Structure 1
């Protein structure tokens, strides 16, 4: 007779055969110039990562721009730029990506790069380096190390994204009040500084707290710092 029960041990107790599914890293991969990104894609699939192949570096930078990014788009854990070292450096793809998304793990897969060039790429913001050509085993190992490290900070990265979107919803008038709040000014002083009524300051302050989902000034400061890419 068919049974829906899990496997039983000798004592008659049941043991669940279901295990939590491993968390898959999400990798955005792009070939820069004429570079072939397929070795990185194959290695990423070998470590069971979800791979999204960007059509161009420009399109990937547009995706990294949190102001234009779709709220439904799952943020990547690792972004990999594949290209000739000299080209990656001169085009500043790593530096530009790091500026747009400082919270992300950005890696570079360098083709024929020297030690000096690798150091330069790291200085531009790369948190992981891969070298091409290389064996699938080596690429897979290096990608796993990079993605495992990135996964540990997935929750904090997504919080940064959430706070950035919330901060982008503040109006210019609310930003003026926010500046006073962050400077530690009481409502009356903010009102005097902006030449507006005290009640107006109170209303704007309430809207700021609501939009940022902050329950205290200390929490608001923490959220704003996160939105601006600062720690704390």
Structure 2
């Protein structure tokens, strides 16, 4: 069973009498274990598609399935449960809690899952270390740069070791060293633990490592390439 299925997905935003079509009948299947990139110009629908696959929004038409679950048939709280148990998210809004340290933010999903404190801190610290943030584990978000906050958000997703990680431009604000460290960590999780990755990117460093590229333009898939 594919881990992701999007069937004839259409998304229309309406407001102030204006209708904007963000996705136009997208069909996409992603098998477990893929390391796949969505590419395309700004406004092509990449972020919208990722939000629908995460259950953060619902399609205007069509079906979105994740792990055999039809997201459109779930309530908001049920979709949140699917994200907690199955999906790691790395989006442009880092959503770090300002009252928690980097370590506590990285361990937050594990805490929600009921993982014992010692184990969740071990996994969170390992994720921070892999991204070059071990020395800043005790700092609060206000004490971190934007790139460091982004890496904490990535560590939070990686520490949870979900079945699927959806990421919107995960290396966008990272320098060369930290960008490559993140890519290596993502590849290791994909190779060693079978975590499926689907992410949007313009980063040529990341595109060198993907197994599949899906191209979007004007809200539609216009081609794909396997490597």
TM-score (norm. length: structure 2): 0.30
Q: Which has the larger Rg?
A: 1
Which structure's residues are more often helix, by fraction? 1
Which of the pair is proportionally richer in strand?
2
Please report the TM-score for the alignment, with normalisation by the length of structure 1.
0.30
